[in-house]
């Protein structure tokens, strides 16, 4: 059965698909069902318990609180609060700023995001992959791998401080062209201008969409769609020639074979075919890759990173780069970095995109692969991960894991190692790189366990190293539980192999790519009501059975309650839920440490 929110989002998606304007959005977002859906989505995210510039989090959420937020929106009393600015390290050692919104702002932004995403998603370019449903790093790389054969030049696009320099007025103009609702545009303007708090001091914001905001990635995608349209225009302009001209030498040898066939000379046919095969083994192809009358331009964008593949001359590639630079500066007010935007020879050099090395293959020994795109895990990335498990070239123990159980230590190591492999599963050198890394990871894990138990590495290996049913040597820790199935943690129990198309192989986007989950609700398809919302709508305290002032108690992770044997923590652990529906009185007792579990 479709909910009201799904029905509305389906209508919005249909209008987006038909490129029709969207009206009366503000009044439609003031809907409890939409807010409950948004709350359900945010409840699954790790950042739900992270505070903004006030102390409000998802904890103590209730239907009454949602109704109050909606009432403030309807009356026009709602005002967003400044975000809290924090910094996280970047790969190059610099720091990236994040703006953490307050909980109420997060919730309203999620509601608006659901609507705008439903509307804009059908209109976005097929070559855009970042922060989009059912797309991610792997789909971007798959497109390059599948469709860019024969590329001569790569243009590696780098936009200086993209998210910090998005022009607010131009963004609002883009939105206003299709969203005919002044109240919604005003709401988005307030978010953009809300400012941020850093070191207890307020700062205004004149440009940019703060990274960390719930709606920020979508607004950035809407803004950068202007770049997509420009690149699509360039792709049409540079679509010159139906196909590459036939190689004259290849054509001559084919004519020789056909002539021999007409004569019926078997020996002559064999000799002509042999001559063709020898020529092919030396790199002769049917099409002429030096055809001056053939041009192609292709592109892929992942948020503010983009790469252009071009078939043509270097001078033409330089002109294309300059045209993109002028467009970014004059039309959408962004700057293309001259230093970082490189023009790379696709055959003799390696371009860098999404931390993969990309180049076209050329081989005299295997001429069939000539022109195909190859993806590799870069050596410096491998070295970076290698250093996380070694000191002075040798594996070492991780002291910050010593307080964990053996089961959790193995789980932690496996989670990290599997994450690296899953991201680089498309790299053709993944097995070569990852087998070496696997040995370092396993040795580091064993040294951590030996340090914890004050015993030798060989004894830990003897205890935990086993050959699995897959024929793989892995570390396995089994925790026997009374009346329950055992808990089993494994490290390295999977085959390491190259997968060309991971989205087909696994049936969905792989982890570690930017995937927006729960998208069935956003695309207008029927979504299953979550267990959380069903429990909340029951309006019953799961501790005392009361029905007055019902709200939700949230915890950050299950391990916070699993070690406890009594009271409300035992209840959450047995339910395997990070939420507990409570009345206000029981919730207060939980937070003040006064709940004794007597009514449980």
Contact status, residue 375 vs residue 360, Cβ threshold 8 Å: no
Question: What whole-number distance in Å separates Cα of residue 122 and Cα of residue 356?
Answer: 28
> Are 503 and 463 in a shared domain?
yes
- φ, ψ dihedrals at 413, nearest 5°: -60, -45
Distance of CA 177 to the CA centre of its chain: 29
The confidence score (pLDDT) of residue 519 equals: 26
Identify the CATH number of the domain in which residue 341 sits.
3.30.70.270
Whether the predicted pLDDT of 561 surpasses 70: no
Helix (H) or strand (E) holding 570, with range, is helix 567-575
> Are 476 and 584 in a shared domain?
no
Low-confidence winner among 262-266, 486-490, 526-530 (lowest mean pLDDT): 526-530
**9 vs 271: which has the higher pLDDT:** 9
Which residue is listed with tokens 């340090």? 451
- Residue that is last in its domain, among 319, 352, 376: 376
> Are 361 and 478 in a shared domain?
no
- pTM of structure: 0.82
CA distances from 456 to 401, 412, 473 (A): 17, 21, 19
> Are 495 and 454 in a shared domain?
yes
DSSP single-letter state for residue 298: E
Instruction: Provide the residue range defining the domain that includes 419.
Output: 379-507
In-domain check, residue 515: no
* Residue 78 burial (10 A CB sphere; 0-12, 13-18, 19+): middle
pLDDT tens digits, one per residue of 364-377: 556 666 788 999 99
Mean pLDDT of the chain: 85
> Are 351 and 213 in a shared domain?
yes
pLDDT tens digits, one per residue of 61-100: 889 999 999 999 999 999 999 988 888 877 666 777 888 8
Beta bridge partners of 311: 296
Contact status, residue 426 vs residue 499, Cβ threshold 8 Å: yes
In-domain check, residue 518: no
> Are 212 and 347 in a shared domain?
yes
For the chain, percent of residues with pLDDT exceeding 90: 55
pLDDT tens digits, one per residue of 282-301: 666 666 566 677 899 999 99
Closest among 474, 456, 457, 477 to 465, alpha carbons compared: 474
Q: At what angle do helices 379-389 and 430-453 cross, to 10 degrees?
A: 10
> Are 306 and 433 in a shared domain?
no
> Are 334 and 238 in a shared domain?
yes
> Are 268 and 297 in a shared domain?
no
In-domain check, residue 512: no
The confidence score (pLDDT) of residue 368 equals: 61
Q: Which residues contact 340 (CB under 8 A, 6 or more apart)?
A: 156, 158
Whether the predicted pLDDT of 106 surpasses 80: yes
> Are 81 and 152 in a shared domain?
no
- Number of domains making up the chain: 5
The confidence score (pLDDT) of residue 255 equals: 79
In-domain check, residue 516: no
Low-confidence winner among 339-343, 491-495, 583-587 (lowest mean pLDDT): 583-587
In-domain check, residue 526: no
Which residue is listed with tokens 């994040």? 98
- φ, ψ dihedrals at 415, nearest 5°: -60, -45
In-domain check, residue 598: no
In-domain check, residue 517: no
**95 vs 515: which has the higher pLDDT:** 95
The residue-averaged pLDDT of 267-279 equals: 79
- Residue that is last in its domain, among 359, 376, 393: 376
> Are 31 and 103 in a shared domain?
yes
- Residue that is last in its domain, among 455, 473, 507: 507
338-357 residues labelled b (16+ CB within 10 A) or e (exposed): eeebbbbebeeeebbbbbbb
In-domain check, residue 462: yes
The confidence score (pLDDT) of residue 436 equals: 93
Low-confidence winner among 89-103, 121-135, 306-320, 537-551 (lowest mean pLDDT): 89-103
> Are 361 and 408 in a shared domain?
no
578-589 residues labelled b (16+ CB within 10 A) or e (exposed): bbbbbbbebbeb
Nearest-10 Cα torsion for 514, 517, 520, 524: -60
């Amino acid at each position: 059965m479709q909910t009201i929110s799904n029905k509305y989002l389906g209508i919005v998606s249909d209008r987006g698909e038909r490129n029709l304007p969207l009206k009366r959005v503000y009044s439609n977002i003031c809907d409890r069902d939409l807010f409950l859906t948004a709350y359900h989505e945010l409840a699954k995210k790790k950042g739900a318990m992270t505070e903004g510039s006030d102390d409000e989090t998802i904890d103590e959420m209730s239907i009454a609180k949602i109704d109050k937020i909606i009432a403030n929106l309807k009356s026009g009393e709602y005002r967003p609060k400044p975000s809290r600015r924090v910094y996280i390290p970047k790969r190059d050692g610099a720091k990236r700023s994040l703006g953490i919104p307050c909980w109420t702002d997060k919730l309203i932004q999620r509601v608006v995001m659901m609507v705008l995403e439903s509307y804009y998603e059908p209109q976005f370019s097929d070559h855009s992959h970042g922060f989009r449903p059912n797309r991610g790093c792997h789909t971007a790389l798959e497109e390059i791998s599948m469709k860019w054969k024969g590329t001569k030049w790569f243009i590696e696009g780098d936009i200086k401080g993209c998210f910090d320099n998005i022009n607010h007025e131009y963004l609002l103009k883009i939105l206003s062209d299709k969203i005919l609702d002044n109240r919604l545009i005003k709401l988005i303007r307030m978010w953009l201008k809300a400012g941020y708090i850093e070191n207890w001091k307020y700062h205004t914001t004149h440009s940019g969409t703060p990274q960390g905001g719930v709606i920020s990635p979508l607004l950035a995608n809407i803004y950068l769609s202007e770049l997509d349209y420009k690149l699509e225009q360039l792709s049409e302009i540079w679509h010159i020639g139906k196909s590459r001209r036939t190689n004259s030498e290849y054509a001559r040898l084919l004519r020789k074979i056909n002539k021999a066939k007409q004569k019926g000379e078997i020996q002559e046919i064999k000799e002509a075919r042999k001559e063709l095969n020898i020529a092919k083994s030396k790199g002769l192809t049917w099409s002429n890759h030096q055809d001056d009358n053939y041009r192609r331009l292709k592109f892929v964008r992942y948020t503010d990173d983009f790469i252009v593949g071009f078939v043509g001359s270097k001078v033409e590639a330089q002109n294309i780069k300059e045209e993109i630079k002028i467009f970014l500066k004059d039309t959408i007010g962004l700057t293309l970095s001259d230093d970082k935007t490189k023009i790379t020879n696709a055959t003799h050099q390696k371009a860098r995109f999404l931390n993969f090395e990309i180049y076209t293959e050329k081989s005299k020994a295997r001429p069939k692969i000539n022109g195909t795109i190859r993806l590799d895990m870069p050596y410096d990335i491998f070295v970076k991960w290698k250093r996380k498990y070694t000191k002075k070239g040798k594996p070492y123990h991780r002291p910050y894991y010593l307080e964990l159980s053996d089961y959790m230590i193995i789980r932690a190591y496996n989670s990290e190692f599997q994450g690296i492999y899953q991201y680089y599963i498309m790299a053709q050198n993944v097995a070569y790189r990852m087998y070496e890394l696997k040995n370092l990871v396993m040795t580091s894990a064993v040294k951590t366990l030996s340090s914890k138990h004050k015993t030798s590495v060989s004894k830990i290996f003897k205890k935990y190293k086993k050959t699995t049913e897959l024929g793989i040597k892995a570390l396995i820790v089994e925790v026997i539980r009374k009346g329950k199935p055992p808990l089993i943690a494994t490290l390295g129990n999977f085959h390491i192999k190259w997968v060309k198309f991971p989205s087909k192989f696994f049936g969905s986007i792989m982890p570690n790519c930017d995937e927006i989950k729960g998208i069935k609700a956003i695309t207008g398809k029927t979504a299953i009501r979550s267990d959380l919302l069903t429990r909340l709508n029951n309006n019953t305290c799961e501790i005392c059975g009361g029905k007055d002032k019902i709200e939700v108690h949230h915890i950050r992770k299950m391990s916070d309650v699993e070690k406890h044997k009594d009271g409300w923590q035992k209840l959450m652990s047995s339910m395997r839920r990070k939420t507990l529906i409570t009345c206000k009185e029981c919730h207060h007792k939980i937070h003040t440490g006064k709940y004794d579990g007597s009514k449980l």
